[in-house]
């Protein structure tokens, strides 16, 4: 049961992240009918996964963390095609991942080491109210990364959190029926 649930999480999350990346790379600015159908399938699948996490596993924090992950993926998805792109939307997803996922924080530290000071720090941090429903309500920016740099970084951090959730599912206890 745990491995089946982990497999559903892997397939569902990976599909939605890759779809958002494709939309971003193609710079569509809108969703096609096929994109809309894929997104609806992700939402349905995600709700079903949440229900299974609540029903089958003893660790109730997994369902809550999955809901937070769903919110992050949804906000990331919206940022991939929003024609009136507001950079704070992606900033908030980025900050939410860093606040909720140790695996995402590892990716962030690796990226900071690779950039070696190429991206300057702001003289004064920018406080942002997050408009999307996320596990956090506010984000603080200390650097402006630029969308072309930040989008793939957030994508990698989402994938790391996905893997982190899968590992937690596989390590969790199953409720007796």
Whether 76 has a pLDDT exceeding 60, the answer reads yes
Residue 38: the pLDDT is: 81
Averaged confidence pLDDT in the chain:
84
Q: Round to whole Å and give the CA distance between 167 and 106.
A: 16
**Secondary structure element (H or E) that encloses residue 8, with its range:** helix 2-26
What's the average model confidence in pLDDT over 41-57?
A: 89
Residue 159: the pLDDT is: 93
Residue 83: the pLDDT is: 56
Residue 164: the pLDDT is: 94
Residue 95: the pLDDT is: 93
- Tokens of residue 143, six digits: 């650097």
**Secondary structure element (H or E) that encloses residue 58, with its range:** none
Whether 22 has a pLDDT exceeding 80, the answer reads no
Closest by CA to 157, choosing from 114, 93, 64, 113, is 93
Closest by CA to 43, choosing from 10, 71, 76, 4, is 71
Q: Is residue 67 helix, strand or coil? A: helix
Please state which of the ranges 54-68, 84-98, 152-166 shows the lowest mean pLDDT: 84-98
- Tokens of residue 126, six digits: 């920018």
Q: What residue ranges in the chain does DSSP mark as E strands? A: 121-129, 138-143
Residue 64: the pLDDT is: 94
Report pLDDT digits (tens) over 105-161: 999 889 888 887 777 788 999 898 998 889 999 998 888 777 778 888 999 999 999
What's the average model confidence in pLDDT over 169-177?
A: 81
pLDDT tier, 12 (very low <50, low <70, confident <90, very high otherwise) = confident
What's the average model confidence in pLDDT over 42-52?
A: 89
């Amino acid at each position: 049961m745990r491995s089946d649930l982990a497999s559903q999480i892997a397939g569902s999350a990976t599909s939605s992240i890759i779809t958002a990346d494709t939309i971003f790379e193609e710079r569509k600015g809108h969703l096609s009918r096929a994109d809309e159908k894929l997104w609806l399938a992700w939402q349905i699948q995600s709700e079903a996964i949440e229900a299974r996490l609540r029903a089958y596993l003893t660790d109730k924090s997994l369902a809550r963390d999955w809901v937070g992950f769903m919110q992050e993926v949804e906000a990331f998805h919206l940022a991939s095609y929003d024609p009136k792109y507001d950079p704070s939307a992606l900033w908030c997803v980025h900050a939410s991942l860093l606040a909720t996922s140790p695996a995402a924080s590892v990716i962030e530290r690796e990226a900071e080491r690779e950039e070696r000071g190429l991206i300057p720090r702001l003289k004064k941090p920018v406080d942002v109210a997050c408009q999307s429903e996320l596990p956090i309500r506010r984000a603080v920016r200390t650097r402006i990364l630029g969308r072309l740099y930040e989008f793939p970084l957030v994508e990698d951090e989402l994938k790391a959190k996905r893997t982190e959730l899968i590992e937690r599912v596989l390590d969790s206890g199953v409720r007796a029926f």
